[in-house]
Amino acid sequence: MSSLVEVARAAGVAVSTASRVLNGSSHPISAATRARVIAAAERLGYSPSALARALVSRSTRLMGVLVSDIVNPYFSVIARGVDDVASRAGYVTMLSNVDRRTDIEINRMKTMRDYRAAGVIFAGSGYVDDPQAQELAASVRQAQEQGIQVVSLTMRDLDCPVITSDAQTAAYDITDHLISLGHRRIDFIEGPPGMVASKQRRDGFLACMRDAGLAEAAQCHPGGFDYEAGHAATMRIIPRPPLPDAILAANDEAAVGALNALRQAHIDVPGQVSVAGIDDLRVAQFVGLTTVSLPLYEMGAMAARHIIDNPTGTGSATTTMLSHRLIPRETTARR
């Protein structure tokens, strides 16, 4: 718990001298005193106060990330991307779960602002007609005026740079893949109601079906992003024949739920029905799920790098689109 003054005293030098050797200043220091200071610091177990340092330098190496739920692999992959580049740059990442609630999001973001985070990354999507969207936008603006970099990983009504992937086109592409396999009647299990992310994915699906002249054959079912939702939706599909040629779920976990529901009902996948998801999370590999790979890790990593590389809050609100990739596996087959 010794401070710089104590180290300086122990080394018989002025605090400024101690400071200069201990924080790698370019200021010239004689080898002798440098050694003395380092020895003293070592002996006293000196640990520089990042707090005090931040106070005077007016900048921290704190990287904020706001996720809906870190247990959701979608977000843990993003968080991993963030932390990898953050820690490599000497930053420490602050993580908060906001449970898809804008009020919590506002609140946590203010807490990170109080700690003067270098930047805050919004990993989760927004909501359609969110009554608190304005309040959030105002908080974001305020944070930016304080010099905090804000980056969003989805398109939202925030005046900040966006680093994202095109979920709508991803949904379009996987639907197109299904169609190219000869499937005509395709059922779509939607994401949670009200989320922009849900809407994008459904829109991509519908657009592709329409473009293929299959608008009539497209059917949407309420669902969600989790296993149970995909399972339940499929349980509602099964008893109403005819079965669709294929089922596309709004994300992988729901797709796995659909897959299991079908197999439990002794419906062969992909023999009778093909199943596909979106995201390409780890579970998709486990079950051999056909899906679209979204660059989640890269999004997190790029967002962190953006924050580190743009110390001033002057970055214009550009949008960076990272590309996705179709991953055909064993849950889809030619009709």
Partner DNA sequence: TTGTACGCGTTATCAC
Partner DNA sequence: GTGATAACGCGTACAA
Listing DSSP states for 167-178 in one string gives HHHHHHHHHHHH
Residue 23 touches which of a copy of itself, DNA, none (Cβ within 5-8 Å per kind)? DNA
Q: How far apart are CA 85 and CA 102, in angstroms?
A: 27
Residue 93 touches which of DNA, a copy of itself, none (Cβ within 5-8 Å per kind)? a copy of itself
Q: For Cα atoms 102, 250, 128, give the angle at the middle one, nearest 5 degrees.
A: 30
Q: Interface with a copy of itself includes 77 (CB under 8 A)?
A: yes
Please give the residues from 39 up to 58 whose contact with DNA meets the rule CB under 7 A: 46-49, 52-53, 55-58
The answer to whether the CB of 204 falls within 8 A of the CB of 168 is yes
From the CB of 55, what's the least distance to DNA, in Å?
A: 4
Listing DSSP states for 158-213 in one string gives -SS-EEEE-HHHHHHHHHHHHHHTT--SEEEE--STTBHHHHHHHHHHHHHHHHTT
**Whose Cβ is closer to DNA: residue 58's or residue 266's?**
58
Residue from 97, 102, 132, 219 touching a copy of itself (CB under 8 A): that is 97
Q: Interface with a copy of itself includes 71 (CB under 8 A)?
A: yes
Distance of CA 322 to the CA centre of its chain: 13
Length of the chain counted residue by residue = 335
Q: Interface with DNA includes 10 (CB under 7 A)?
A: no
- Give the 3-state secondary structure of residue 146: coil
Residue 29 touches which of a copy of itself, DNA, none (Cβ within 5-8 Å per kind)? DNA
Residue 41 tokens read as 């610091």
Residue 28 touches which of DNA, a copy of itself, none (Cβ within 5-8 Å per kind)? DNA
Q: How far apart are CA 330 and CA 34, in angstroms?
A: 64
Which residues would be at the binding site for DNA (CB under 7 A)?
A: 1, 3-5, 12-17, 19-20, 22-23, 25, 27-30, 32-34, 46-49, 52-53, 55-58
Q: List contacts with a copy of itself (CB under 8 A).
A: 1, 45, 47-52, 54-55, 60, 62, 69-71, 73, 76-77, 79-80, 83-84, 87, 90, 92-97, 108, 110-116, 142, 145-147, 227, 256-257, 260, 282-283, 285-287
